[in-house]
Amino acid sequence: MPQLNKTHDPSLQSWVASANDGSTDFPIQNLPFASFRRRGSNEAMRGGVAIGDQILDLKAAAQSGVFSAEVQPALEAAAKDKLNEFMAMGKTAWSGLRAALSSALGAGSALEASLKGCLVPQAEAEYGMPCVVGDYTDFYASVYHATNIGALFRPDNPLLPNYKWIPIGYHGRSSSIGVSGQSFPRPCGQTKAPDAAEPSLGPCKRLDFELEMGVFIGAGNELGETIAIDDAEDHIFGMCLFNDWSARDIQAWEYQPLGPFLAKNFASTISPWIVTTEALAPFRAAFSHPAEDPQPLPYLDSDANNAEGGVDVALDVLIQTAAMREAGEAATSLATSNFKYSYWTMAQMVSHHSVNGCNMQPGDLLGTGTLSGPNAEQACAMIELTCGGKNPVTLPNGESRAFLEDGDTIVIRGFCQREGAARIGFGEAAGTVLPAKV
């Protein structure tokens, strides 16, 4: 597990004043990575690090000549339009560059004058995918979500017997993953009503969101090699927010016997910033399965994972309808939850993914699955919140939703906060539903 070091010191301040207000997602203790350029420009995309309401342009920083020869290769790799090369360099390079950036951006840094010109306001930026996602796997890591969904379809047997033994997942589609600000047409597909004699083709009527987190693989493994659980976090570069949009009526008709297909591959939205595993070190949490549940098999079990395999990330999912947007009303919360409710840890997901010798690669993305918590207000998908559409949610402006309508924007936010540590956040993952193309 990443260890605390001087970059986590809550007393650290930055010469970028907006990083010091105590409420920003991006204090100097965070320093997440993204790919960006100035909005509306023809500039090439390049790597950036968030600091307060600014972005440190890593390409400009690399060209400034003020960083040491020791960290320059990592800086140049992180400055490219995609982070894959930097991700592949491993934790020593990641940690070394993070330490150098922390020092360079710290209050009193001798590099302030050289780097001020390398800042770009976040308000003037647009973002691209932070890396090439070669493969995407979606897990099913909340036992509360799995139980709630199972109860809708199998009231007498909501949780299948393998769930508490194995991190369940399926391979998804990476080409339709987009960064926050993504908009997409309502998907079309085959559906079959319970009283219909045959299926029909048309726009999805039960469109849903799923509040998840994404886990990015850094250094990979060779085909045939496994990743031991105590080594797994050496292969994890960082985390983002993730919305796995879902067409529930298409899913209900197609998912047996091989699982999700067109109901899941039309769009997924991530936050632009990848918060590194090292930045999350102050917010680690103990992990365990309830004593009455099956305990993980040895390849999924370790003292380190039990001590701090969890991560305390507070999560919120909000909706802004077209009517709210036109009235100038802000998005309103639908549900809150926390990554610490995950039944499986990041390390367990990675170890299980590779136990058969699967070769994971820099930039691969693992979705956690919907991160619902134990309480009703922590149901992080419309299908749960509305009991399959039977109990629509009433919004503050009087509108109601059983499932998502055209024009709806879903926003996911997340942050970590703990006494004795600086609050850090993930920004947001926002996506908007457009009318179907028919």
Residue 157: pLDDT band by 50, 70, 90 thresholds?
Answer: confident
Question: Each residue of 405-418: pLDDT tens digit?
Answer: 999 999 999 999 99
Looking up residue 24, the CATH number of its domain turns out to be 2.30.30.230
Task: For residues 325 and 10, give the distance between their C-alpha atoms in angstroms, rounded to a whole number.
Answer: 37
**Whether residues 356 and 408 fall in one domain:** yes
What is the number of domains present in the chain?
2
Segments of 330-399 assigned E as strands: 332-338, 365-367, 393-394
Q: Name the token pair of 325.
A: 């947007």
Mean pLDDT of 318-345: 97
Q: Based on the fold, state whether residues 209 and 330 are members of the same structural domain.
A: yes
Domain assignment of residue 364, yes or no: yes
Residues 396 and 357 in one domain: yes
Q: Are residues 248 and 321 in the same domain?
A: yes
Would 276 be classed as within a structural domain? Answer: yes
Q: Is residue 223 part of a domain?
A: yes
What percent of the chain is predicted at pLDDT more than 90? 94
Cα of 400 vs its chain's centroid, Å: 27
Residue 1: inside a domain = no
Domain contains 422? yes
Number of Cβ within a 10 Å radius of residue 132? 15
pTM of the model: 0.96
Question: Do both 45 and 82 map to the same domain?
Answer: yes
Residue 1 has pLDDT above 90, yes or no: no
Give Cα separations from 378 to 148, 271, 330, 354, 437 (angstroms): 11, 21, 21, 31, 33
The DSSP secondary structure of 175-228, one letter per residue, reads TTEEETTEEEEPPEEEE--TT-SS-EEEE-SSEE--EEEEEEE-S---TT----
**Residue-wise pLDDT tens digits, 281-301:** 999 999 999 999 999 999 999
Q: Which of 98, 128, 158 is the last residue of a domain?
A: 128
Same domain, 326 and 346: yes
Confidence of residue 112 (pLDDT cuts 50, 70, 90): very high
Q: Is residue 383 part of a domain?
A: yes
CATH of the domain at 335: 3.90.850.10
> Buried (b) or exposed (e) across 264-298, using 16+ Cβ within 10 A?
bbbbbbbbbbbbbbbbbbbbbbebeeeeeeeebee
* Catalytic option among 8, 145, 235, 353: 145
Average pLDDT over residues 16-20: 98
Indicate if 85 and 234 belong to the same structural domain.
no
| 70 plus 199 within the same structural domain | no
Answer positive or negative: Cα dihedral of 3, 314, 385, 428.
Answer: negative
- The answer on 100 and 224 residing in a single domain is no
Q: Taking residues 358-367, what's their average pLDDT?
A: 98
Domain membership flag for residue 292: yes
* Positive/negative CA dihedral, 83, 86, 89, 92: negative
Model pLDDT, residue 266: 97
What confidence category does residue 302 fall into, taking pLDDT thresholds of 50, 70 and 90? very high
Summarize pLDDT for 178-207 with one digit per residue, the tens. Answer: 999 999 999 999 999 989 999 999 999 999
Full domain range(s) for residue 232: 136-434
3-state secondary structure of 335: strand
Looking at 74, 99, 128, the residue that finishes a domain is 128
156 lies in the same domain as 14:
no
145 is catalytic: yes
Average pLDDT over residues 343-348: 98
With beta carbons less than 8 A apart as the criterion, state whether 351 and 226 touch.
yes
The residue out of 69, 103, 128 marking a domain boundary is 128
Same domain, 62 and 208: no
Higher model confidence: residue 376 or residue 314?
Answer: 314
In this prediction, residue 256 carries a pLDDT of 86
